[in-house]
Amino acid sequence: MNFSIVYYDIVCYVIAICVFILCFVYFMLYWNSFSGGSVSFSADNQFVELVWTVIPTIIVLILCGLNVNFITSGLDCLSDVTIKIIGHQWYWSYDYPTGSYDSFVCKDGFQVDKPLRLLYGVPYHLIVTSADVIHSFSVPSLNLKMDAIPGRLNHLYFCPAYYGVFTGYCAELCGANHSYMPIVIEVVK
């Protein structure tokens, strides 16, 4: 069974219970105020107060734990290959498990000598960082954008769903040759 469906069902049930409790409380207040009901606000029942404080607290803590587990679960197992992307003034470096290389701009200003080559349908774990100043690894046509910040490793999970050559750019002003550090991603079989 899909964990996200179970989590969604739990959240829906909790919302339904909260709405029911809210309606019940307002109904009891209305009944006491206008109908001469027997609800006594002066009665003090410590056990009831303890129960309706502890049970919602436990429910909220369980939901928080499920939420954190749901958001972070299984991210590492999604990817088969990890690629480290390092921004430099004014080129990109790609570290594969099998080796690394630098990708410099060609004379036309739009292409690179060695693009980032990815396989179609293979999940990748991209680690983006910088060696000098803040850069931004951005390929809009693939919906990829991650800041490359010196001293920080930013993580991005990506599975190419289209074949082709996709061009991007550094989206953060990083110096005099900022406009001459394109990103080219080739998605192949």
CA distances to 7, 65, 67, 79, 102 from 73, in Å:
13, 11, 10, 13, 33
Same-domain status, 99 and 7: no
Same-domain status, 70 and 87: no
CATH number at 119 reads 2.60.40.420
Same-domain status, 30 and 107: no
Same-domain status, 179 and 103: yes
Same-domain status, 85 and 178: yes
Among 21, 53, 76, the domain boundary falls at 76
Same-domain status, 108 and 139: yes
Among 76, 92, 125, the domain boundary falls at 76
For the chain, how long is the longest CA-to-CA vector? 88
Q: Name the residue among 140, 148, 142, 144 with its Cα closest to residue 178.
A: 148
Same-domain status, 151 and 183: yes
Q: Is there a domain that residue 40 lies in? A: no
Sheet with strand 116-119: strands edge to edge: 116-119, 183-188, 164-170, 135-139, 144-148
Q: Is there a domain that residue 88 lies in? A: yes
Q: Return d(Cα 69, Cα 62) in angstroms, integer.
A: 10
Structural domain tally of the chain?
A: 3
Same-domain status, 49 and 96: no
Q: Which amino acid is at 86?
A: I
Q: Is there a domain that residue 138 lies in? A: yes
Chunked mean pLDDT (size 10), the chain, 189 residues:
63 80 79 66 70 81 74 62 90 91 85 90 89 90 90 87 90 79 90
Q: What is residue 146's DSSP assignment?
A: E
**Which residues are CB-neighbours of 170 under 8 A, at least 6 positions away?**
87, 90, 135, 136, 137, 138, 178, 181, 183
Q: Is there a domain that residue 161 lies in? A: yes
Same-domain status, 169 and 98: yes
Question: What pLDDT score does 1 carry?
Answer: 44
Same-domain status, 111 and 59: no
Question: What pLDDT score does 39 carry?
Answer: 56
Question: What pLDDT score does 11 carry?
Answer: 75
Same-domain status, 109 and 156: yes
Report whether 123 contacts 79 (CB < 8 A). Answer: yes
Q: Is there a domain that residue 16 lies in? A: yes
Range of the domain at 98: 81-187
Q: How many CA atoms lie within 13 A of 43 on its CB side?
A: 7
- Both tokens of 100, joined, read 């690394």
Same-domain status, 173 and 108: yes
Q: Is there a domain that residue 133 lies in? A: yes
